[in-house]
Structure 1
Amino acid sequence: MGGLRGVAAPFVVPGPSGVAIRSGLKGLTGRDETVLRQVGALLGSLASRDLKARCAAGLAHDSEQWARRKRALTGPSSSRWAGSITKSTHDQWALARRGQLAHIQSLRAGVETIRHRLAQPVGAKGAKGVPGGYRSRREWFAKSRRLYVLEDRLEEVRADWEAGRVRVVRGGKKLARARHHLKAAGLSEAQWRLRWQAERWFLQADGESGKRYGNETIRITPGGEVSIKLPAALAGLANAPHGRYVLACRIVFRHREEEWADRIAAHRAVAYRINYDTDRNRWYVTACWQIPQVRTVPLEAARAGGLVGVDMNADHLAGWRLDEHGNPVGEPRRFDYRLTGSAQHRDAQVRHALIRLLHWTARRGLALAIEDLDFAAEKTREKHGRRKRFRRLISGMPTARLRARLVSMAAELGVTVVAVDPAYTSRWGAQHWQKPLTSKNRKPTRHDAAAVAIGRRALGCPIRRRTAPPPHDRSDRVGHRTVQAAPGVLGREGPCPRVPGPRTRSVGAGRGAKAGDQCAHNRSGYTAEHESWHQDSLPLSF
């Protein structure tokens, strides 16, 4: 087993800590849309100004500077709008900071890999997961040039990290770059401009417990009436007392409506966000709030009765049910999805596949075992070299979104999720389980075998099957006959269970006076082998 990395122990995944629901704002008038656009544009400009101030402060930022930023925003807006803007800015800066650290780690891994391969002879083969040399002198030269590029990038990013400088684009860097490639993005200049403005608007407010309906800035009543506290600079647009603007439409949350209604009736905090979808020309409002952490069941309780092992792939989820001993039960299941089209379509495909998997698992009252996937360090060019197709494959797998959705949806159905280390599950599953599970009517794939390996690891069982008996005799001299019979297991040297049918012509199997007495057998370590032999005396008469 030398050269293999250690395998982490399985654990029960904790439940979600928050809830988010969304509904459309239908029936808005032209004046309503104009007010929403003006409020979003004004607060968006304030958010951009605050983000610039936060990035300029860098690592020297403290609570006094935070309060100074909030006071600067309170004048043109309000204290609550200023609080929401500063909190959103801080979260955005922290996210960029974490992304910067991940970029440094990726560059460092690429530099180390190139240095190692450049030090190897050209054409040298790798062994035990360690890459060898490059295939040709031409590739060696190209990689030596790339090494200098990566080292320069690493030095630059590391200097930004130490100085606390981050680079953030409000509206998204991808959309900003699309401005110079409108034809490739399939957008006209007017369409890009509208989308760019909508992404930079700011229309979100944090909730406050104890306030009316849980939010003083964006308020939604139990009857569905939506009102907004206008910023001070736009107070003249108010159509309700206290500088508020009431929209003409009524909103209804189809999902978790009762839970949301109970929360606002108790005046508990609910945060709202209003956004505009330029493709559909529709306005949406999202409500979110925190929930108590779901108490997870112990790992041993999740293993009781078996579980379902699931292997995630680029186009489907492969599942197989296992009993408590790690044996596959029934037939494998496949839940397909397609990651093509728009983001909404891809998200719907993932949700549809997950809900079918969870319903199938919940009907059997079992837990779910998945891999704790993280491809952050396995997407780089230096890791997989010329395997562009494989790099695109793992880059397109929605591991983070699928994991987050699976945990939240499983908590609603009461399904326990057990995460396992993904090391060698596909390789060992195909090696030990694909061929034995193949029959005339069943042709399992590598992914089905990987699901069995994942389930066995979650159950605490070894992935490999029982070892074959010693080849040359039936004694335990070579080793134990099965991997399950450990040296400390009681009864491992006991008599075998009776097999129906005779073995010899004289005495049937499992019969006879000495059938269960191991001391009467000629076995190593027992008294029958060490007693001296003697001839009984003959009787004098009959």
Structure 2
Amino acid sequence: MGGLREVAAPFVVPGPSGVAVRDRLKDLTAEDEKVLRLVGALLGSLASRDLKARCAAGLDHDTGQWAERKRVLTVESSSRWAGSITKASHDQWALARRCQLAHIQSLQAGVRTLTVRLSKQIGEKGTKGAPGGYRSKPEWFAKSRRLHVLADRLEREQADRDAGRVRVVRGGKRLLNARHHLDTAQMTESAWRQRWEAERGFLAADGESGKRFGNETIRVTPEGEISIKLPAPLAGHANAGSGRYTLTGRVRFQHRGSEWADRVTAHRAVAYRIHHDPARDRWYLTAAWQRPTVQTVPLDAARAHGMVGVDTNADHLAAWELDRHGNPVGDPRRFFFDATGTAGHRDAQVRHAITRLLHWAKRRGTAAIGIEDLDFQAEKTREKHGRRKKFRQLISGMPTGRLKARLASMAAEQGLAIVAVDPAYTSKRGAQHWQKPLTSTNRTTTRHDAAAVAIGRRALGHPIRRRTAPPPAHQSDGQGHRTVQAAPETPGREEPRPRIPGPRTRSMRAGRGANAGNQDTQHRSGRPAEHESWHQDPLPLSP
């Protein structure tokens, strides 16, 4: 056991700190759409220019430069639009820096693995904690060339990070490259142009507490009326006072509509974003606001009413309910989802699976869900998994990040706590200790079901194995109760089962007498009452 790593303690996942809802803008006139496109294109060009200035500043950027950028943009738009654009540029630069660090860490892991394997003899066997050598000379040669490629990439990325350089494409690098491969992307040039302009447009405004309806730039009344503060070059298109344009269509937020109405009525900050979907030719409005930090429930309180253990897989969630002692209750459940197709389809599938899981957990009366704290960011490289291409594709297709975020936010609305556990050895030990005992003629327990039990037991604070080792001195209960489900001080753990009521007869069947709970006092095969030296001989039947 010395080679096993230490398992981290379970913890309650904090709830979401923000809310975002979206609704479609209907009944827009041709003039409305024209104004929205003009505003989005103008602000998008300003955002592209400001992002270029922010990336050029790099690590030398300070508050003075930020204020100067905002002053330049204010002349061409307004102070509020300039504030939203500069903040968005800074957030984009920070996100690019985080992605750059993750890429560097991935390259470092690949270089380390290649260096270790190339240093070993060809065909040398690996150990459990370290990989072996490559199997042939051609493979060794190919990997040595790849080591130089990764080392060069790592050197370039590290130099960029030290200099504060990031590379960002407004609209997305994938969509940009699709312009040169329209046949492969199955798009026409006009369709690509519409999508490109929609992605690079900018129509987003941060909220302001204390201002009318929580936002002066994009104002939405409780009745759903939308008005936009036009930038200075487009002030001639205003149809309302103070250089504003009021849209003909109305918006109603079906989801969290009452919560949104309470905020705008109280003039609390709400951020808005208007965007266009060229594939469907629809306009949408997204409202977002922050929530006060909610104190998570204590871990003991989350464990009080049992736990639902959930094993995350590439195409389904395997769940099993456990009581507070760690015993599986009922039958396992599986919630399938399709992780193929577009990003919107995958997201909808994950939400649907999580919704069914939460509803089932609520019906079962549990207060918490145990799930693995998965993170495959460093586990996808081919240097780590070698020829196991299908396995790399499997873990790459598992929506771990999206699922964790969705599950935490949706469970908070249902009043359920999420307990994250260390994923170490859950599948292996679950199959070792629980798959066979939970399999019967009417139920086939899979490895994923057994892993769900292992995750639930770890979330409850119990070891995964079914029983603890017997005392070293002797194989009996003299030094303590062996099972971990009931502690020695638990009242009634050794008492007989309750007597089943029935008609009184002159004969008493076996197991129904006064000593039914103490099996050692009965004359049964294999019991100490027959084989111990102190056993009294039976009395003679006649004098």
TM-score (norm 2): 0.89
Does 2:320 correspond to 1:347? no
User: Superposition pairs for residues 361-400 of structure 1, below 5 Å?
Assistant: 361-366=361-366, 367-400=368-401
Aligned residues of 2:481 and 2:488 also touching (Cα < 8 A): no
Opposite residue 383 of structure 2, the aligned amino acid is E
Shifted more, 381-390 versus 95-104: the winner is 381-390
Report the Cα distance in structure 1 between the residues aligned to 2:475 and 2:272, rounded to whole angstroms. 72
Change (3 A) 1:321 1:269: same
Asked whether the equivalents of residues 17 and 290 of structure 2 are also in contact (C-alpha less than 8 Å), the reply is yes
Change (3 A) 1:138 1:267: same
Pairwise CA distance, 1:364: 2.5
1:149 aligns with 2:149: yes
How far is 1:426 from its partner? 1.1
Matched, 1:356 2:356: yes
Tell me if the contact between 1:429 and 1:463 (Cα under 8 Å) persists in the aligned partners. Answer: yes
* 8 Å contact kept, 2:326–2:485: no
Contact kept? 2:22, 2:285, Cα under 8 Å = yes
Quote the residue 1:540 is aligned against.
none
Q: Which residue of 2 aligns with 1:453?
A: 454
Structure 1 segments unaligned to the other structure (5+ residues): 503-507, 513-521, 523-527, 529-542
Q: What amino acid does structure 2 have at the position aligned with 1:410?
A: A
| Equivalent position of 1:81 in the other structure | 81
Q: Distance in 1 between matches of 2:418 and 2:469?
A: 34
CA–CA separation in structure 2 for the residues paired with 1:473 and 1:4: 28
Structure 1 Cα separation of the partners of residues 342 and 476 of structure 2: 64
3-state SS, counterpart of residue 242 of structure 1: helix
Q: In structure 1, the residue corresponding to 2:424 is in which secondary structure? A: coil
CA positional deviation for 1:510: 4.7
- Alignment match, 2:238: 238
Q: What's the counterpart of residue 29 of structure 1?
A: 29
The one-letter code matched in structure 1 to 2:60 is A
CA displacement at 1:490 relative to structure 2 = 6.2
The CA deviation string for residues 70-101 of structure 1, in whole angstroms up to 9 with x for no partner, is 00100000000000000000000000000001
State the 1:344 CA deviation: 1.8
- Alignment partners' CA distance in 1, 2:216 and 2:19: 20
Partner Cα separation in structure 1 for residue 234 and residue 477 of structure 2: 88
Shift of 1:383: 1.1
2-structure distance, mates of 1:15, 1:259 = 17
CA distance in 2, matches of 1:362, 1:470: 40
1:259 partnered with 2:255:
no
Distance 1:128 1:481, change over 3 A: farther
Contact 2:107–2:150 at 8 Å: present in 1 too? yes
SS in 2 for 1:264: helix
RMSD: 2.6
Contact 2:327 2:485 in 1 (8 A): no
Q: Is the 8 A contact 1:467 1:481 kept in 2?
A: no
* Change in 2 beyond 3 A, CA 1:470/1:215: closer
Counterpart in the other structure of 1:17: 17
Rounded Cα–Cα distance in structure 1 between residues aligned with 2:271 and 2:263: 12
Please say if residues 470 and 481 of structure 1, whose CA atoms lie closer than 8 Å, have aligned partners that are also in contact.
no
Give the corresponding residue for 1:316. 316
Contact kept, 8 Å, 2:17 with 2:292, in 1: the verdict is: yes
Unaligned segments of structure 2, at least 5 residues: 498-509, 513-517, 523-531, 535-543
Deviations 1:397-443 (A, max 9, x none): 11111111111111111011101111111111111111111110110
Task: Work out whether residues 468 and 484 of structure 2, in 8 Å CA contact, stay in contact via their aligned partners in 1.
Answer: no
| Equivalent in the alignment of 1:411 | 412
User: 2:427 maps to which residue?
Assistant: 426
Does the 8 Å CA contact 1:468/1:481 hold for their aligned counterparts? no
Taking the aligned partners of 2:496 and 2:227, their CA distance within structure 1 comes to: 80
Alignment of 1:148-297 (within 5 A): 148-297=148-297
> Secondary structure of the equivalent of 2:269?
coil
Kindly provide the CA deviation profile for residues 175-228 of structure 1, in whole angstroms up to 9, marking residues without a partner as x: 111112211111111111111111000000000011110000001111111110
- CA contact 2:239–2:246 (8 Å) conserved in 1: yes
Structure 1 window deviating more from structure 2 (103-112 vs 398-407): it is: 398-407
- Kept in 1: contact 2:322–2:329 (CA 8 A): yes
Q: CA 1:267 to 1:445, structure 2 compared with 1: closer, same or farther past 3 Å?
A: same
| Stretch moving more, 412-421 or 338-347 | 338-347
Identity %: 71
1:481 to 1:297, Cα distance in 2 relative to 1, 3 A: closer
- Bigger Cα displacement from structure 2, 156-165 vs 458-467: 458-467
The alpha-carbon distance between structure 1 residues 320 and 498, as it changes in their structure 2 partners (threshold 3 A), is: closer
Which residue pairs with 2:504 in the alignment?
A: none
Aligned: 1:112 with 2:112: yes
CA 1:474–1:106 in 2, change beyond 3 Å: closer, same or farther?
closer
> Any conservation in 2 of the 1:226–1:247 contact (CA below 8 Å)?
yes
Is 426-435 or 160-169 further displaced after alignment?
A: 426-435
C-alpha contact (below 8 Å) 1:310/1:454 kept by paired residues: yes
Whole-Å Cα distance in 2 between the matches of residues 50 and 467 of structure 1?
Answer: 63
Q: 1:370 is paired with a residue of what secondary structure?
A: strand
Alpha carbons 2:318, 2:448 under 8 Å: kept: yes
Equivalent-residue separation in structure 1 for 2:365 and 2:91 (angstroms): 39
In structure 2, the CA distance between the partners of 1:466 and 1:250, relative to structure 1 (3 Å rule), is same
- Shift in alpha-carbon separation, 1:122–1:172, aligned structure 2, 3 A: same
Aligned residue in 2 for 1:442: 443
Post-superposition Cα deviations, 1:497-528, rounded to whole Å, max 9, x if no partner, equal: 679869xxxxx84559xxxxxxxxx9xxxxx9
Other structure's SS at 1:75 match: helix
| Residues 470 and 214 of structure 1: CA distance in aligned 2, closer, same or farther (over 3 Å) | closer
Q: Counterparts of 2:303 and 2:49 in 1: how far apart (Å)?
A: 53
Report if the CA contact (8 A) 2:325-2:485 is conserved. no
Give the structure 2 partner of residue 39 of structure 1: 39
Amino acid of the structure 1 residue aligned with 2:424: A
Query: Are the counterparts in 2 of residues 213 and 221 from structure 1 also a CA contact under 8 Å?
Result: yes
For residues 128 and 408 of structure 1, the distance between their equivalents in structure 2, rounded to whole angstroms, comes to 38
In structure 1, the residue matched to 2:528 is none
Decide whether aligned partners of structure 1 residues 216 and 133 sit closer, same or farther in structure 2, where only a CA change above 3 A counts.
Answer: same
* 1:427 to 1:31, Cα distance in 2 relative to 1, 3 A: same
- 1:406 is aligned with what amino acid? L
Matched pairs, number: 506
Does the CA-based 8 Å contact 1:498-1:510 persist in structure 2? no
CA distance 1:166–1:471, shift in 2 (3 Å): closer
- How much does 1:51 deviate? 0.4
Indicate conservation of the 8 Å contact 1:218/1:229, yes or no.
yes
CA distance in 1, matches of 2:488, 2:248: 77
CA distance in 1, matches of 2:342, 2:484: 50
Superposed displacement of residue 341, structure 1: 2.2
User: Is the 1:498–1:509 Cα contact (8 Å) retained in structure 2?
Assistant: no
Q: 2:93·2:166 contact (CA, 8 Å) conserved in 1? A: yes
Q: Secondary structure at the match of 1:219?
A: strand
In structure 2, the CA distance between the partners of 1:233 and 1:353, relative to structure 1 (3 Å rule), is same
Aligned-partner Cα distance in 2 for 1:255–1:498: 54
